[in-house]
């Protein structure tokens, strides 16, 4: 049952915790760099903000405008593939690409008519991207981006269905909150500390590979849980191993992302990397429910393990560019 007071208190605590990060950001000083900082006027910043708003509005309007146009196409795709979920995915992807194109055209128009300071746009958005590709080259940069975009796919795709799975196994909300959330949090923190120690001792690459391997293999523990059903002890074991491996993987992954950034463009590059980190896994995770309906829980957990295997190959390929 929904509890207004409980949720209100939870969100207040979350906001208070976020204040720690806000206060830290305001207190610490900017890192020293050799980059020349251009002087921009208040008008330039206002116009730059206008550019951002225009991109968002153009994206939303274009995405909504294509809803009616693709309706017939979706019906055709359903007949062709005999799968409404696949048809919906294709149509949604096409709409997303068209909306991105609309946002890009809007941005280019504002820049072309000098409504926005071109130099400011280049310094903020273009230069950080160019710097990354210039430092690593096109082929290596794409490989690194592939690792970033797929490293957490095994965990996130499973995580979408985790709470529903626990409920289907007969666990109560109190049991789920106590074991999965509270106990799981401490295991994640323990994994983070362990991952940090291992990264110092044996290097980031080995821990990055170990994290990817454990994240995939621990998904198999959910198969056992699916077979034994409502078993508190086994839920503790599964959550402990899964969250411990997630903590190890996350620590190594953050160290990996940090090593890829240039101190001159740290904020923008890290923002891009961290966004890409969950973009594809979240998209794939949107179809987790469909996979469970089609194959069942045990087969679904096997699938989440298998999709983590290519990540191991990708991590191995980037070994020369880590540590």
Q: Which of 224, 244, 215, 241 is nearest to 310 (CA)?
A: 215
**Cα angle for residues 62, 116, 126 (degrees, 5° grid):** 80
Rounded to whole angstroms, the Cα distance separating 137 from 274 reads 20
Alpha-carbon distances of 162 from 20, 60, 132, 208, 239, rounded to whole Å: 30, 31, 36, 24, 10
Six-digit token string for 190? 């323990």
Tens place of pLDDT per residue across the chain (323 aa)? 557 777 888 889 999 999 998 888 888 877 666 555 557 788 888 888 999 899 999 999 999 888 877 777 777 777 777 777 777 778 888 888 999 999 999 999 988 888 888 888 888 888 999 999 999 999 999 999 999 999 999 999 999 899 999 999 999 989 998 999 899 999 999 999 999 999 999 999 999 999 999 999 999 999 999 999 899 999 999 999 999 999 999 999 999 999 999 988 888 899 999 989 988 888 888 888 888 888 899 999 999 999 999 999 999 999 988 76
Phi, psi of 206 (to 5 degrees): -65, -40
**Cα 13 to Cα 227: distance, rounded to the nearest angstrom:** 37
Burial (CB count within 10 angstroms: exposed 0-12, middle 13-18, buried 19+), residue 100? middle
Tokens coding 155:
């965990």
User: Which run of H or of E encompasses 312?
Assistant: helix 309-317
Contact 131/265 with Cβ under 8 angstroms? yes
pLDDT value for 252: 92
Task: Write down the pLDDT at residue 41.
Answer: 82
Per-residue tokens: 162: 């985790």
Q: What is the DSSP letter of 39?
A: P
Q: Domains in the chain, start-ordered, CATH in brackets?
A: 38-116 (no CATH), 143-321 (1.20.1250.20)
Output the pLDDT for position 195.
Answer: 93
Q: For residues 272 and 283, give the distance between their C-alpha atoms in angstroms, rounded to a whole number.
A: 17
Determine the pLDDT at residue 323: 60
Alpha-carbon span 201 to 220, nearest angstrom? 28
pLDDT in tens, 153-179: 999 999 989 999 999 999 998 999 899
Dist. CA 228–CA 69, nearest whole Å: 48
Distance CA 311, CA 309 (A): 5
Tell me, what's the pLDDT at 202? 92
Distance CA 267, CA 21 (A): 15
SS3 content of the chain, % helix, strand, coil (to 5): 85, 0, 15
The answer to whether residues 235 and 171 touch, using CB atoms and an 8 Å cutoff, is yes
pLDDT in tens, 14-73: 999 999 988 888 888 776 665 555 577 888 888 889 998 999 999 999 998 888 777 777
């Amino acid at each position: 049952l929904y509890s207004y007071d409980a949720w209100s208190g939870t969100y207040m605590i979350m906001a208070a915790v976020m204040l720690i990060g806000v206060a830290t950001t305001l207190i610490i000083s900017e890192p020293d760099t050799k980059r020349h900082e251009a002087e921009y006027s208040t008008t330039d910043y206002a116009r730059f903000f206008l550019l951002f708003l225009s991109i968002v509005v153009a994206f939303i309007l274009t995405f909504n405008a294509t809803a009616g146009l693709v309706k017939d196409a979706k019906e055709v795709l359903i007949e062709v593939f005999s799968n409404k979920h696949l048809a919906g995915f294709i149509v949604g992807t096409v709409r997303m690409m068209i909306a991105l194109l609309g946002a890009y055209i809007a941005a280019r128009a504002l820049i072309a008519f000098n409504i926005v300071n071109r130099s400011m746009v280049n310094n903020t958005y273009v230069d950080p991207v160019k710097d990354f590709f210039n430092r690593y080259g096109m082929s290596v940069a794409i490989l690194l981006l592939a690792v970033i975009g797929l490293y957490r796919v095994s965990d996130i795709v499973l995580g979408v269905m985790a709470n529903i799975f626990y409920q289907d196994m007969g666990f109560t909300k109190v049991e789920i909150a106590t074991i999965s959330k509270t106990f799981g949090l401490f295991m994640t923190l323990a994994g983070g500390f362990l991952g940090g120690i291992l990264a110092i001792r044996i290097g980031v690459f080995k821990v990055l590979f170990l994290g990817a391997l454990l994240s995939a293999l621990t998904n198999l523990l959910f198969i056992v849980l699916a077979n034994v059903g409502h078993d508190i002890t086994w839920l503790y074991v599964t959550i402990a191993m899964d969250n411990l491996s997630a903590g190890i993987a996350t620590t190594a992954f953050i160290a990996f992302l940090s090593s890829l950034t240039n101190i001159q463009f740290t904020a923008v590059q890290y923002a891009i990397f961290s966004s890409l980190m969950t973009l594809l896994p979240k998209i794939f995770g949107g179809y987790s429910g469909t996979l469970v309906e089609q194959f069942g829980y045990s087969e679904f957990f096997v699938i989440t393990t298998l999709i983590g295997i290519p990540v191991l190959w990708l991590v191995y390929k980037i070994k020369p560019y880590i540590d």
